[in-house]
Structure 1
């Protein structure tokens, strides 16, 4: 969808290129995140794609068409653009801000109005209460959503996003990231996303391009980059916690094993034998409503003895009544809970029913896998 061939940018008066012989390809429907330290060339590259900055040499293709063959204004009208400062016009309403590009395209008024309302619903805002507001009446998170909606208004196939969530607080930023990923699953745009935050890059990107001093240092999937840093710069940029970062790429449901053994309170005297029958390392205690109220493990019997009393086992299980997660929880967060509860296992829930189990060993084994294993 987007291809850069030997693209170089040297600013007037400088001898060192801001972008140096960059060659890369961004596939249709992918989010490609540009990341790196300040001044590494990532924002310059982004702005060369819509000709806000002209390259000194090289070729940029969008859909196999050289962007130099397009009028710059018309090119930009066909590319969505979102920036950190959002750039909403303060004297225009939300609806008028979103409608800017469709109006430039000459869309009829009724089509514009339908598109505005459609986008407001898509980004999770109520058209009735939002379309007539001015930017000053919105929160930072709401303004950022409107900025995204404006970039999508004319349904461009390509979107460029330059630090789009950098100006909001961490809680709002995390929510905006989640909402945008949900949105991308529906709209499937080709997106180039600039950030300085490696954690945001790992979360948002189908592919990550790491820049340093104007050059592309490594380009690949988040898993590939985390498991195989190309050099010391990439390893240092990712940080010493790259194995923990790897856990943010997977969810509990990716590694959960089926429940092998469950017991009801009246079966506690026979818990050891039942675990042996099922060859289970963990056994879940299920209450009268069919909900899990904790679990016991083989190690508990090693400590307490095979003839541990039902009262002791019930107390041990009850200490783990919160050691459960839903399947869509990130493995990173599951690891945090395992450490918090000082347990080797977590039960996996679907609603109020236990459907699986994961262990610290499962997480460790998954984190050590390389891409393709």
Structure 2
């Protein structure tokens, strides 16, 4: 989809290239994150792709076509662009901001209105209460979501995002990242995403391009970069906690133990035998509504010897908060284990128990993934 061949940018009056002989390919539907310290060339590279900045030399191709053969304005109309400052026009409503590019394409009024409402719903905003507001009436997180909606208005196949979540607080930022990942799973755009935060790069990227002083120093998947840093700069940039960062690459569903059984509170005394009969690692206690209220593991019972029914109930119900969804990142699962001081978490598919995951499972899984690389 996007290819850069020996692309160099030297600004007027400077002798050191801002970007030097950069070559890389970004495949259709991939999210490629450009990351590195300030002044490393990542934002310059992004802006050369939509010709906001012209390269000094080299070639940039989109769908095998040299972008210099395209009119710059028409090129940009077909590429969504999201920046940290958001750039909403303050004197126009949310709907008018989102509709800018469709209007340039000459879309009919009703088609534009329908598209605006679709996009507001897609980014988690209520069209009825949002479309006629002005940017000054929105929170930072809401403005950022409107900025993403505007970039997607004409359904561009490519999106360029320059530190899009850098201006919001950490809680909102994490929410926007998760929402963006959800949207990308549905829409499968080709995305170039600039950040200075290696943790954001690991979370968001299918591929990561690490820059330093205008040079591309490593390009690969998050797992490749975490397990095989190309040099000391990459190793230092990633940080000493590479193994911990790897926890952001995998989800609980990838290592959950799926042998489970269920009982009501009254049936708890028979939990050990039921687990033995079914070859299960855990027995989930269901409340009157059929929802999991806790669990007990075969290991817990073995560690405690003969357990009185009341004690068994206490052990099971003490785990009422020790649940995660299958889509939960291993990083977040480990955090919950540490918070609750437990080595076991129950795993749910919405409200249905599907298994357990242990601290040992996580440790062995990460060790195996490091070994594979």
TM-score (normalizing by structure 1): 0.91
Quick check: 236-245 or 38-47, which moved more?
Answer: 236-245
1:315 aligned partner? 314
What pairs up with 1:202-221 in 2 under 5 angstroms? 202-221=202-221
Whether the 8 Å contact between 2:261 and 2:284 is mirrored in structure 1 is: no
Provide the rounded CA distance (Å) in 2 between the counterparts of 1:285 and 1:95.
49
For residue 369 of structure 2, give the secondary structure of its aligned residue in structure 1: coil
**Change beyond 3 A, Cα 1:351–1:131:** closer
Provide the rounded CA distance (Å) in 2 between the counterparts of 1:130 and 1:29.
30
2:369 aligned partner? 370
**Change beyond 3 A, Cα 1:39–1:356:** same
1:358 aligned partner? 357
Provide the rounded CA distance (Å) in 1 between the counterparts of 2:111 and 2:16.
48
For residue 369 of structure 1, give the secondary structure of its aligned residue in structure 2: helix
Whether the 8 Å contact between 1:292 and 1:353 is mirrored in structure 2 is: no
What pairs up with 1:187-336 in 2 under 5 angstroms? 187-260=187-260, 282-284=281-283, 286-287=285-286, 289=288, 291-298=292-299, 301-302=302-303, 304-305=304-305, 307-336=306-335
1:169 aligned partner? 169
Whether the 8 Å contact between 2:34 and 2:193 is mirrored in structure 1 is: yes
Provide the rounded CA distance (Å) in 2 between the counterparts of 1:117 and 1:45.
33
For residue 51 of structure 2, give the secondary structure of its aligned residue in structure 1: coil
**Change beyond 3 A, Cα 1:267–1:106:** closer
Provide the rounded CA distance (Å) in 2 between the counterparts of 1:137 and 1:227.
45
Say how many residue pairs are matched.
370
Provide the rounded CA distance (Å) in 2 between the counterparts of 1:284 and 1:337.
20
**Change beyond 3 A, Cα 1:214–1:283:** same
**Change beyond 3 A, Cα 1:149–1:272:** closer
Quick check: 13-22 or 113-122, which moved more?
Answer: 113-122
Provide the rounded CA distance (Å) in 1 between the counterparts of 2:188 and 2:141.
22
Provide the rounded CA distance (Å) in 1 between the counterparts of 2:37 and 2:180.
24
For residue 209 of structure 1, give the secondary structure of its aligned residue in structure 2: strand
Deviation at 1:183? 1.5
Deviation at 1:84? 0.6
Provide the rounded CA distance (Å) in 1 between the counterparts of 2:63 and 2:37.
29
Stretches of structure 2 that go unaligned for 5 or more consecutive residues are none
**Change beyond 3 A, Cα 1:8–1:334:** same
What pairs up with 1:91-170 in 2 under 5 angstroms? 91-170=91-170
1:343 aligned partner? 342
Whether the 8 Å contact between 1:94 and 1:146 is mirrored in structure 2 is: yes
Deviation at 1:277? 5.6
Write the deviation string for residues 324-347 of structure 1: whole angstroms up to 9, x where unpaired.
222222111111122223222212
**Change beyond 3 A, Cα 1:158–1:288:** closer
What pairs up with 1:27-66 in 2 under 5 angstroms? 27-66=27-66
**Change beyond 3 A, Cα 1:110–1:309:** closer
Deviation at 1:257? 1.2
**Change beyond 3 A, Cα 1:310–1:25:** same
Whether the 8 Å contact between 1:295 and 1:321 is mirrored in structure 2 is: no
Stretches of structure 1 that go unaligned for 5 or more consecutive residues are none
Whether the 8 Å contact between 1:263 and 1:283 is mirrored in structure 2 is: no
**Change beyond 3 A, Cα 1:110–1:263:** closer
Whether the 8 Å contact between 2:7 and 2:23 is mirrored in structure 1 is: yes
Deviation at 1:308? 4.0
Whether the 8 Å contact between 2:293 and 2:317 is mirrored in structure 1 is: no
**Change beyond 3 A, Cα 1:314–1:57:** same
What root-mean-square deviation, in Å, do the aligned CA atoms of Structure 1 and Structure 2 show? 2.3
**Change beyond 3 A, Cα 1:54–1:355:** same
Provide the rounded CA distance (Å) in 2 between the counterparts of 1:93 and 1:269.
63
Do structure 1's residue 182 and structure 2's residue 186 form an aligned pair? no
